[in-house]
Structure 1
Amino acid sequence: MTEPRSDPDVPAFWRVLGLPGVIDVHVHFMPPRLMSAVWSYFDEAGPLIGTEWPIRYRGPEEERLAFLRGLGVRAFTSLVYPHRPGMAESLNEWAAGFAARVPECVQTATFFPEPGVGDYVVRALDAGARIFKVHLQVGGFDPRAEELDPVWGALADAGVPALVHAGSGPVANGYTGPGPFGEVLARHPRLTTVVAHMGAPEFEGFAALADRHDRVHLDTTMVFTRFAALAPFPDALLPRLRDLGLAGRVLLGTDFPNIPYAYAHQLESLAALGLGDDWLRAVCWHGPAAVLGVGNGLGDQ
């Protein structure tokens, strides 16, 4: 497998694998004012960032959409998340509208531990949300909060995944790490979960959760790249990573557009692991398609 060295190389990467494109589970589209505020926070290397983090792809929304389409990203999320109470429901409404006008986007929603959270999560599910973003680091909340217990249960019953930033990278708080979210999974073992950034830097702990719970997945976002914000992945875990990937439990994620390097570098880094073409096919297409419920007909685009 030839590693894609630059963005124009990406279509050749998936064509050589015999894929119709790639599916990215970790992409951010947000209301323009919120996206600008997020970019400003990265520019300032705020306390939750902890390092210089230049945003590479900060063009207008239509430019970013055209870029993904040009690479052959056939389906992607629009991950939104609140940093305080009172934001989540309006973000869900925006994300539903975005997905309605962008056919490649998988409708995304979010939540925060607050009064009424169970009600608006049910409304989001009824409106077609197919994945929920939960950011324990930015939100600074305990996933074991009492008001969230019925929410986790509703997602488990609906079979709708939660993409959870539960790892302590780049900056820890008291609710990150495999312990707190592991308790959620112990109470809701049928919850489909995608662990953002493979749980960096607690790779071992989150891999152990994936071993224990067959609905736990790991997304590749920023892992294996040259960017130093996340801890290096332990070589000793690579055999487990290969097995999980072949089982459809490792999913391509990138953090586009909030990355300080070329989109292709994430794919280059995965190919450089040498885990085989079947593994790359599973990570870049088959696993994400199964979790997001997409794929049929995408090859005709």
Structure 2
Amino acid sequence: MPATAEAVRAFRERLALPGLIDVHTHFMPERVLAKVWDHFDAVGPLTGVAWPITYRHEEEERVALLRDFGVIAFTSMLYPHKPAMAAWLNSWAADFAARTPDCLHTATFFPEDGVAAYVRQAVEGGARVFKAHLQVGGYDPNDERLDPVWGLLAEAGIPIVVHCGSGPVPGPYTGPGPVGRLLARHPRLPLVVAHMGMPEYADFLDLADRYREVRLDTTMAFTDFAERLTGFPAGDRGRLADLGDRILLGTDFPNIPYPYEHQLDALDRLGLGDDWLRAVCHDNAARLFGLRGPGPA
């Protein structure tokens, strides 16, 4: 898609960025990803809006596309929907990170017996970011089996990208309540709220105001697609500037129903300035993950 690559390159060059750091991209075992794509193919009846996958390509081509876009570090967000799945996903993700040096080694977990042991194993194996999906997993982040996991990750300072907002469809433990209770018990937890907490934007901004280690990723937020579903409140736009050092670029690549550059355009048209864009698209994540120069070394 040369037009996309050219558009993203122009965005980077205008901001004099060494590259983009995208903290919310999905790579997972092919049969798991196929089921995720089947879900998005069927999500239209739930949301009333069709969700075509723009980058439905083989893994090698998807990695090449991100590199062509100038993404110098990205993640392999993956997540279980049932017990006895997370450890296997972590094994796959460790192998993917080993053969994909620009991917930040990603891991996940589920409230189940043995979770603390395999999370510790992932941390000791070099995991740099975790993914928790409260909507798909359908679990309470305050499940007592997860207490040692949250404590370990808080102590290690390893970020956890958590889908905890109620978009596109609410779950039994989505919304600010469960995560708010979690943060009250683990206030130093480096939690990254996926999708800016869509649609409970203001509530999750409140949590970021309250807890210094809470960040938010931009995944799908502010795009035309998301604005049709649930618009970001205009009155809270100034809060994005106030929290400009704790907002991270995320896109949901490849599972997005529009070209990659549209996420960047959506951020640009917020009108918060080039310094804000540089921080969001590179500097904040580089500082969080200790990245120096190109790639996650």
Partner residue of 2:196?
Answer: 198
Residue type of the alignment partner of 1:98: F
Partner residue of 2:214?
Answer: 216
Residue type of the alignment partner of 1:277: D
Q: What do the CA deviations read for 1:116-147 (whole angstroms, capped 9, x no partner)?
A: 00111000000000000000000000011010
Deviation at 1:16, TM superposition (A): 1.4
1:94 aligns with 2:84: no
Choose from 257, 261, 278 the match for 2:258: 261
Residue type of the alignment partner of 2:269: A
**Contact 2:208–2:214, Cα closer than 8 Å, also in 1:** yes
Choose from 176, 186, 192 the match for 2:174: 176
**Contact 1:85–1:112, Cα closer than 8 Å, also in 2:** yes
**Contact 2:94–2:105, Cα closer than 8 Å, also in 1:** yes
CA–CA separation in structure 2 for the residues paired with 1:233 and 1:288: 23
**Contact 1:222–1:230, Cα closer than 8 Å, also in 2:** no
Identical-residue share of aligned pairs (%): 62
CA–CA separation in structure 1 for the residues paired with 2:289 and 2:55: 24
Choose from 10, 13, 19 the match for 1:12: 10
Deviation at 1:292, TM superposition (A): 2.5
Partner residue of 2:138?
Answer: 140
Partner residue of 1:239?
Answer: 238
**Contact 1:134–1:162, Cα closer than 8 Å, also in 2:** yes
Choose from 277, 281, 284 the match for 1:280: 277
**Contact 1:50–1:170, Cα closer than 8 Å, also in 2:** no
CA–CA separation in structure 1 for the residues paired with 2:46 and 2:129: 24
CA–CA separation in structure 2 for the residues paired with 1:12 and 1:123: 41
Residue type of the alignment partner of 2:77: L
Choose from 39, 62, 78 the match for 1:41: 39
CA–CA separation in structure 1 for the residues paired with 2:126 and 2:106: 9
Note the 1:19-38 alignment, pairs <5 A.
19-38=17-36
1:293 aligns with 2:286: no
How many residues were matched structurally? Answer: 293
Q: What do the CA deviations read for 1:63-112 (whole angstroms, capped 9, x no partner)?
A: 11111101100000000100000100000010010000001100000000
Question: Secondary structure in 2 aligned to 1:133?
Answer: strand
Residue type of the alignment partner of 1:59: H
1:227–1:46 distance in 2 versus 1, CA, 3 Å: closer
1:219–1:191 distance in 2 versus 1, CA, 3 Å: same
CA–CA separation in structure 2 for the residues paired with 1:141 and 1:46: 24
Deviation at 1:13, TM superposition (A): 0.8
CA–CA separation in structure 2 for the residues paired with 1:88 and 1:145: 16
CA–CA separation in structure 1 for the residues paired with 2:186 and 2:177: 14
Deviation at 1:266, TM superposition (A): 0.1
**Contact 1:200–1:230, Cα closer than 8 Å, also in 2:** no
**Contact 1:42–1:49, Cα closer than 8 Å, also in 2:** no
Residue type of the alignment partner of 2:277: L
CA–CA separation in structure 1 for the residues paired with 2:263 and 2:77: 18
| Unaligned runs of at least 5 residues, structure 2 | none
Question: Secondary structure in 2 aligned to 1:298?
Answer: coil
Question: Secondary structure in 1 aligned to 2:72?
Answer: strand
Deviation at 1:298, TM superposition (A): 1.0
Question: Alignment RMSD, CA only?
Answer: 1.6
CA–CA separation in structure 2 for the residues paired with 1:216 and 1:55: 30
CA–CA separation in structure 2 for the residues paired with 1:205 and 1:238: 14
Q: What do the CA deviations read for 1:162-201 (whole angstroms, capped 9, x no partner)?
A: 1000000011122000110111101001100110000000
Note the 1:62-77 alignment, pairs <5 A.
62-77=60-75
TM-score by length of 1: 0.94
CA–CA separation in structure 2 for the residues paired with 1:135 and 1:266: 21
**Contact 1:15–1:21, Cα closer than 8 Å, also in 2:** no
CA–CA separation in structure 2 for the residues paired with 1:283 and 1:104: 19
**Contact 1:223–1:230, Cα closer than 8 Å, also in 2:** no
